[in-house]
Chains A and B, each alone.
Chain A
Amino acid sequence: MRLRKELRGGVTVISLDGQLDSETSPQVQQDLRALLPEDGLVVLDLSRTLYMSSAGLRVLLLVYRQAQHGTVRLALTGLSPDVRAIMEATGFLGFFTVVESVEQGVEALTV
């Protein structure tokens, strides 16, 4: 799994590229923690996340919690219908701010 970080108009966008499962989760968790800024707005872009296992869901939630502890505001975008359905059925979706696009994320997080 590859992580990419870019700044778009003051928002940190981190894309997760590949499979988020038990094999990749520990590394992704570590990498995400390192990539998260101290404060500001962060959008996690999952549009290239091909598969999300239960370990993957846990990583997302842990990172989200880490963000909440600081002053980072975080949203998810690019959820495929499958990933969204899984997150909905297991209740993980309810923890996150989910937006349709990075642009909408900027809007949602700055309001």
Chain B
Amino acid sequence: MTILEPIDAYPTQRIAGYPVRAGRSLPFGATRVPGGVNFSVYSNHATSVTLVLYREGEPEPMAELPFPESFRVGSVYAMTVFGLDVERLEYGYRVDGPRRPWEGHRFDPDLVLSDPYARMLTGHGPYRHRSRVTLDDFDWEDDRPPHLPHEDLVIYELHVRGFTRHDSSGVAAPGTYAGLVEKIPYLLELGVNCVELMPVFEFDETDNVFTGVNYWGYSPIGFFSPKASYAATGRDHMQVDEFKHMVKELHRAGIEVLLDVVFNHTAEGDERGPAISFKGLDNATYYMLTPDGHYYNFSGTGNTLNCNHPVVRGFVLDCLRYWAAECHVDGFRFDLAAILGRGSDGELLHNPPLLESLAYDPILRDRKLIAEAWDAAGLYQVGSFPHYSRWSEWNGRYRDTVRRYVKGDIGVTGELATRMVGSPDMYSRRGAAATVNFVTSHDGFTLRDLVSYDHKHNEGNGEGNRDGDDANNSWNCGHEGVTDDPAVLALRARQQRNALLLLLASRGVPMLLAGDELGRTQLGNNNAYCHDGPVTWLDWGLREENADLFRFTRHAIAFRRAHPVLRGGSPGSVHWHGVSAWSPDWSAHSRVLAALFDGGGNDCVYVAANSHWESHTLELPPAPRGQAWHLFADTAAAPPMDAFEPGSEPPLANQSQLSIGPRSVAILVTH
């Protein structure tokens, strides 16, 4: 077959010595075309736009190409430049326009701005915000997304760098996408089938006035750019290839990839913050502004992206489509997603167009959409987020209830029951897949710290311990922090198991925080966004030290995956019990909860929880269908008797009674 050369692959004029022609308005960004690169950028209020080209690493531009008026279609400036060596090219835009901040316009032609659609940023050094062009071809072979049903997911939230950066990780490329690939066997052994990556969009890791370190990266700069410093090949500008390879390898292992995405604000802050991209391109379009041009701050970080503006909405949609279609990402968790339901003045929209677009988008149809359904301005939408039967939610109420129950609060047993069956008070119409259940996440204590500290210890964050949440529902088990008291340590070990077991026996989608299965500690820091070091990096030496906890977690995950009835089902498949069979005690002082999840056949599970400091004897309902009760897990038992290999559970000696220890959880199964 002969492939005809495109008939427009030649320049029509020269600008600043470069052969160019009028470009194509779509797609936005820098796209390789035959013979050249097509640059397209939007600005509604600009009076002139100039493409600035650099040879990589050079302080001064090699050329500045103003867009002729004839190259503009509407508010889109597009130009094809021929004969560029894209591998050594960096670029940006110089944009002029009104300098009237009170009207929202902050144009500054002295600045060179990064392309919001850039597929790569340089990502380090003095020119870290310069945009780069990628080679976007990638051999996916026959990669297919695992397409796991929502309720079958076991999500594992991790930080790409922190997961393997520690010397003990033993990987060849510590702290990178490639390093994560090397740990796939570990993920498989643990049994999780979905990783949720904390922000991987390009951000500035020095962006923090208190400590000079921003480790988490919830302040995006390049929404289409995988963070270069998370790539072993970032210095050679191959982060896109490396990221795609990571997704491909995770998929090959049957593991889905979710990205934690931040569309509520950017790294540009308020009027005091730097102009990196949006602020200089078209401030009044991209940000929510007060009538006199100040920044609304619903995100708690200085600015708020104007995400329901039609142009910004298109940007968000383009971005998610890119990650889904080009990078094969399986879904997204939206940081402070309640903001995405706000209008230009911050008002709550009845039918937020952005959320609706995402819910009905053809490319995103099978991708998971998970909302952190609150924001920093007090809007709390857990259970009421505009979901279009598509969105799931981080269930903050689940977290709070399990924490309170496990630490021994009175009056939460009834609510725990509701949370364990998928929070039907909030999600009955959507089903259990709508609730992402978790006890810990990156934001707050690790599981070990949750049972080791009554109070946060954030002195190292440089804000006098004022930052971070004070409402942790944590309990130190008798001593604040590090101790060698065996009784305290034994109780902490049990409490961690109690939380894990309840989480993995609850309907909905469980999410684990990476390292909790190994007893990772941040020494009481519950807001470790600003620590890039031993406080936040996973110490793989814990694998040996806490081998029992790892084994316990592995069994609990395998047990969940062996029992569909724990993942969803009709309300009629759950029967409540108490000290007496068939007699749950819903009174406020009750600390005992027992539930029979019966999915028929061998899929029958009895979960008993006791948050009392004394043991109780529970009368067991007879095992259905003439089967016998077997003991899967008992957190009161010493390892390795605390959990058994699913399928090999020993029979219970006394089939009519279960003695449940102080502050413990036990699970039986029929065979």
Contacts and interface: CB of A to CB of B under 8 A. Distances in A.
Interface of A: 21-23, 53-55, 57-58, 61, 85-86, 88-92, 95
B238 A54 contact: yes
A22 B86 contact: yes
Nearest to B86: A22
B88 interface: yes
A54 B248 contact: no
A33 B177 CA distance: 33
A90 B242 contact: yes
Interface in B229-251: 231-233, 236-238, 241-242, 244-245, 248-249
Given A89-B231, A91-B245, A53 B236 contact: yes
B225 to A, nearest CB: 15
B467 interface: no
B241 A90 contact: yes
B402 interface: no
Given A54-B135, A88-B172, A89-B173, 18 more contacts: A21-B87, A22-B85, A22-B87, A22-B88, A23-B85, A53-B236, A54-B237, A55-B87, A85-B232, A85-B233, A88-B173, A88-B178, A89-B231, A89-B245, A90-B233, A90-B242, A91-B244, A91-B248
Interface string B115-137: 00000000000000000000101
B242 A89 contact: yes
Interface in B152-197: 172-173, 176-178
25 contacts: A21-B87, A22-B85, A53-B236, A54-B135, A54-B237, A54-B238, A55-B87, A57-B241, A58-B135, A85-B173, A85-B233, A86-B233, A86-B236, A86-B238, A88-B172, A88-B173, A88-B178, A89-B173, A89-B232, A89-B233, A89-B245, A90-B241, A91-B241, A91-B244, A92-B241
B620 to A, nearest CB: 53
A50 to B, nearest CB: 13
Contacts of A21: 87
A57 B176 CA distance: 20
A53 B178 contact: no
Contacts of B245: 89-91
Nearest to B139: A61
A60 to B, nearest CB: 12
A91 B143 CA distance: 13
A23 B139 CA distance: 22
Contacts, number: 56
A91 B249 CA distance: 9
Contacts of A88: 172-173, 178
A90 B233 CA distance: 8
A55 B237 CA distance: 11
Interface string B543-555: 0000000000000
A85 B242 CA distance: 11
A89 B248 contact: no
A60 B237 CA distance: 18
B135 A55 contact: yes
Given A54-B241, A61-B139, A85 B172 contact: yes
A53 B233 CA distance: 10
B328 to A, nearest CB: 13
B139 A95 contact: yes
Contacts of B87: 21-23, 53-55
B234 to A, nearest CB: 10
Contacts of B86: 22
Contacts of B139: 61, 95
B244 to A, nearest CB: 8
Scoring A23, A89, A92, A95 by chain B CB atoms within 10 A of each residue's CB, the highest score goes to A89
Contacts of A86: 232-233, 236, 238
A85 B245 CA distance: 14
Nearest to A85: B232
B467 to A, nearest CB: 36
Nearest to A23: B85
Contacts of A89: 173, 176-178, 231-233, 238, 242, 245
Contacts of A61: 139
Interface string B84-108: 0111100000000000000000000
Nearest first, the 10 A-B pairs at minimum CB distance are: A91-B245, A89-B178, A22-B87, A90-B241, A89-B232, A89-B233, A54-B238, A89-B242, A90-B242, A53-B87
Contacts of A22: 85-88
A90 to B, nearest CB: 4
Interface in B52-95: 85-88
A95 B245 CA distance: 12
Nearest to A52: B236
Scoring A21, A23, A86 by chain B CB atoms within 10 A of each residue's CB, the highest score goes to A86
B395 to A, nearest CB: 36
Contacts of B233: 85-86, 89-90
Contacts of A53: 87, 236
Scoring A23, A58, A90 by chain B CB atoms within 10 A of each residue's CB, the highest score goes to A90
B5 to A, nearest CB: 15
Nearest to A22: B87
Nearest to B241: A90
Contacts of A95: 139
Contacts of B137: 58
Contacts of B172: 85, 88
Interface string B205-241: 0000000000000000000000000011100111001
B85 A90 contact: no
A56 to B, nearest CB: 9
A86 B173 CA distance: 10
Contacts of A85: 172-173, 232-233
A86 B176 CA distance: 12
Nearest to B84: A22
Interface in B564-592: none
Contacts of B241: 54, 57, 90-92
A31 B652 CA distance: 74
Contacts of B238: 54, 57, 86, 89-90
Contacts of A57: 238, 241
Interface string B243-262: 01100110000000000000
A68 to B, nearest CB: 13
B170 to A, nearest CB: 15
A23 B87 CA distance: 9
Nearest to B249: A91
